[in-house]
């Protein structure tokens, strides 16, 4: 199939109309049909999956409906990806049909290679076009699209570059440039972009984008006239962080101008933030009742909408299971992400208890056309990137909340590593390593301020830590370790170290 031609012929307005008008039952049926169809195809055409089903005594002919499908064994890297040759995991056993290869970051184990075909670029371009058209107005404004992701084997930089190039070739006035993690080059591009383009879209890892914005501001860049938009991926961030960035560059509408992508090397562009998810995430961050009602948790997750035509999600235990026609077809694949799925009407009902009408709120903001009704997938930071002190888990969202405090934002990049250590007597202690902004010096005063903010702020969002602090006192205060900008042992330049 010529996927590029299919993309050129694709009418985004038709897709957007479907996103705005179709109800929950339609999206459930759509996702289930896609999952069953992919299962049937994979069971016939993917050598590894045929063998996997045989070893697990699953007869594909017996899988006739979604109830049957949910009894199919779940796959993951350990029991499936790492058990077979890479070629056997591909359609028809032909790795040569893939035109691109990416590697996972290795943050959850040994890095894996993930082939991609033009179908994945089609998916990425189709999703990206909707974001660029609906939120960033790239169909109307000349746009300098600056890719500030690492441009090596990692998927984010190459995938977003290729997807956006397709959108540009469709007629959007977008110019793509790929400086990678070179802050000086990005700064020069921003200066040039503000002179020759209507707007700039800066795309990258949240901590690095903040570093670029802070640096450009210090160098005299004046942010005005809604000339910049942001697209992020790689990790979640707090609403306090979003507000900081929005105020720094004078964004007109953070709901549309700051979009975070849920992406991975194994699946590709999985889902993404929308004005709806940003709105409800902001509500949850400021109202624990709403937070518990929506997410059954005491912390705010990453919240995204997705297209059931190409992604099907399930929750099994606490983890998210995805079925997706990715470079390697994935059927009931365990992402190892902790989260759940919400449908639009569920969200509406939860908010109606607080006298909040989504229709009314979006109409008031003149954003009615941006209220999509596609399903929501939300996820929390993986346990592997958390720390535990006396049985209380300190989640990534908690640390981000602390470090995004206004007292600290001008001194820190936002990158961190947290760990629990034990002394010879097996007494636990919490250690928080943070990266200083460039030209910021380490000092006892700053370390003391970070500890003070940590101890004052964390109890506000973690009742467990609040109780622990009341019982244990200074024993559960964190040890703060300050690291210079680009410390090669913790925060090397040119490589994004997974910190949360």
Distance, CA of 475 to chain centre: 34
Mean pLDDT of 207-230: 89
Of the candidates 127, 75, 82, the residue with the CA atom closest to the CA atom of residue 104? 82
- 115: tokens are 């082939």
Residue that finishes a domain, picked among 380, 403, 425:
380
On whether both 359 and 397 belong to a single domain, the answer is no
CATH at residue 153: 3.40.50.12780
451: helix, coil or strand? helix
On whether both 151 and 218 belong to a single domain, the answer is yes
Model pTM?
0.82
On whether both 246 and 142 belong to a single domain, the answer is yes
On whether both 292 and 414 belong to a single domain, the answer is no
Mean pLDDT of 315-322: 95
Helix ranges (DSSP H) in 151-274: 155-169, 183-196, 206-218, 239-249, 254-257
How sure is the predictor about 382, in pLDDT bands with cuts at 50, 70 and 90? low
Residue that finishes a domain, picked among 353, 380, 407:
380
On whether both 366 and 429 belong to a single domain, the answer is no
- 102: tokens are 């990416």
Q: For residue 497, what pLDDT is reported? A: 43
- 274: tokens are 């929308």
On whether both 331 and 218 belong to a single domain, the answer is yes
On whether both 51 and 185 belong to a single domain, the answer is yes
Cα dihedral value 237, 307, 93, 114, nearest 10: -10
Q: For residue 439, what pLDDT is reported? A: 86
Q: For residue 425, what pLDDT is reported? A: 60
Q: For residue 380, what pLDDT is reported? A: 86
pLDDT averaged over the chain? Answer: 91
Q: For residue 493, what pLDDT is reported? A: 64
- Positive or negative, the CA dihedral 479, 480, 483, 485 is positive
Distance, CA of 89 to chain centre: 25
Least-confidence region, from 255-264, 367-376, 422-431: 422-431
pLDDT tens for each residue of 430-456: 999 999 998 899 999 999 999 999 999
Residue 395: which domain range?
Answer: 385-483
Q: Is residue 86 within 8 Å of residue 95, measured between CB atoms?
A: yes
Integer Cα distance of 450 and 130 in angstroms? 40
On whether both 426 and 321 belong to a single domain, the answer is no
Q: Looking at the domain assignment, is residue 490 inside a domain? A: no
Q: Looking at the domain assignment, is residue 494 inside a domain? A: no
Which position has the higher pLDDT, 395 or 27? 27
pLDDT tens for each residue of 141-164: 999 999 998 887 778 899 999 999
Q: Looking at the domain assignment, is residue 495 inside a domain? A: no
3-state helix, strand, coil in the chain (%, to 5): 45, 20, 35
How sure is the predictor about 111, in pLDDT bands with cuts at 50, 70 and 90? low
Integer Cα distance of 394 and 240 in angstroms? 18
How sure is the predictor about 28, in pLDDT bands with cuts at 50, 70 and 90? very high
Q: For residue 393, what pLDDT is reported? A: 78
Least-confidence region, from 67-81, 397-411, 424-438: 424-438
Q: For residue 391, what pLDDT is reported? A: 66
Integer Cα distance of 75 and 191 in angstroms? 48
Q: Looking at the domain assignment, is residue 492 inside a domain? A: no
Q: Is residue 166 within 8 Å of residue 121, measured between CB atoms?
A: yes
Q: Looking at the domain assignment, is residue 498 inside a domain? A: no
Q: For residue 381, what pLDDT is reported? A: 65
Q: For residue 108, what pLDDT is reported? A: 40
| Number of separate domains in the chain | 2
On whether both 371 and 399 belong to a single domain, the answer is no
CA atoms within 13 A on the CB side of 88: 12
Provide CB contacts within 8 A for 98, sequence distance 6+: 90, 115, 116, 117, 327
């Amino acid at each position: 199939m010529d996927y590029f031609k299919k993309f050129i012929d694709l009418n985004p307005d038709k897709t957007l109309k479907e996103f705005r008008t179709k109800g929950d039952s339609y999206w459930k049926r759509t996702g289930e049909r896609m999952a069953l169809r992919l299962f049937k195809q994979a069971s016939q055409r993917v050598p590894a999956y045929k063998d996997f089903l045989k070893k697990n005594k699953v007869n594909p002919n017996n899988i006739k409906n979604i109830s049957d499908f949910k009894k199919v064994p779940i796959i993951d890297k350990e029991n499936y990806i790492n058990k077979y040759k890479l070629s056997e995991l591909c359609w028809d056993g032909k790795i040569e049909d893939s035109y691109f290869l990416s590697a996972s970051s290795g943050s959850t184990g040994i890095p894996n290679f993930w082939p991609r075909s033009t179908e994945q670029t089609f998916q990425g371009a189709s999703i990206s076009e909707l974001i660029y058209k609906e939120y960033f107005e790239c169909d109307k404004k000349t746009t300098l699209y600056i890719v500030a992701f690492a441009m090596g084997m990692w998927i984010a930089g190459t995938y977003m570059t290729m997807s956006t190039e397709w959108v540009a070739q469709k007629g959007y006035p977008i110019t793509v440039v790929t400086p990678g993690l070179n802050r000086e080059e990005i700064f020069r591009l921003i200066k040039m972009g503000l002179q020759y383009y209507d707007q700039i879209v800066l795309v990258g890892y949240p901590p690095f984008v903040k570093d670029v914005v802070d640096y450009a501001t210090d160098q005299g860049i004046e942010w005005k006239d809604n000339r910049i938009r942001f697209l992020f991926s790689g990790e979640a961030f707090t609403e306090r962080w979003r507000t900081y960035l929005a105020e720094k560059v004078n964004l007109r509408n953070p709901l549309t101008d700051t979009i975070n992508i849920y992406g991975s090397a194994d699946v590709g562009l999985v889902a993404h933030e929308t004005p709806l998810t940003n709105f409800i995430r902001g509500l949850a961050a400021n109202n624990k009742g709403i937070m518990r009602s929506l997410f059954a948790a005491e912390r705010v997750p990453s919240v995204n909408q997705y297209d059931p035509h190409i992604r099907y999600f399930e929750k099994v235990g606490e983890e998210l299971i995805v079925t997706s026609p990715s470079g390697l077809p994935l059927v009931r694949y365990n992402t190892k992400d902790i989260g759940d799925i919400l449908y639009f009407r569920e969200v509406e009902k939860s908010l109606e208890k607080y006298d909040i009408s989504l229709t009314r709120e979006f109409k008031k903001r003149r954003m009615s056309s941006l209220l999509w009704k596609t399903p929501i997938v939300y996820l929390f930071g993986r346990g592997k990137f958390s720390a535990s002190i006396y049985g209380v888990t300190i989640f990534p969202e908690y640390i981000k909340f602390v470090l995004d405090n206004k007292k600290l934002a001008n001194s820190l990049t936002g990158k961190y590593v947290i760990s629990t250590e034990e002394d010879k007597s097996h007494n636990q202690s919490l250690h928080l390593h943070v990266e200083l902004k460039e030209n910021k010096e380490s000092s006892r005063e700053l370390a003391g301020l970070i500890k003070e903010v940590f101890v004052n702020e964390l109890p506000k969002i973690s009742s467990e830590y609040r109780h622990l602090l009341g019982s244990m006192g200074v024993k559960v205060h964190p040890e703060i370790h300050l690291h210079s900008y680009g410390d090669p042992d913790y925060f090397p330049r040119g490589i994004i170290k997974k910190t949360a």
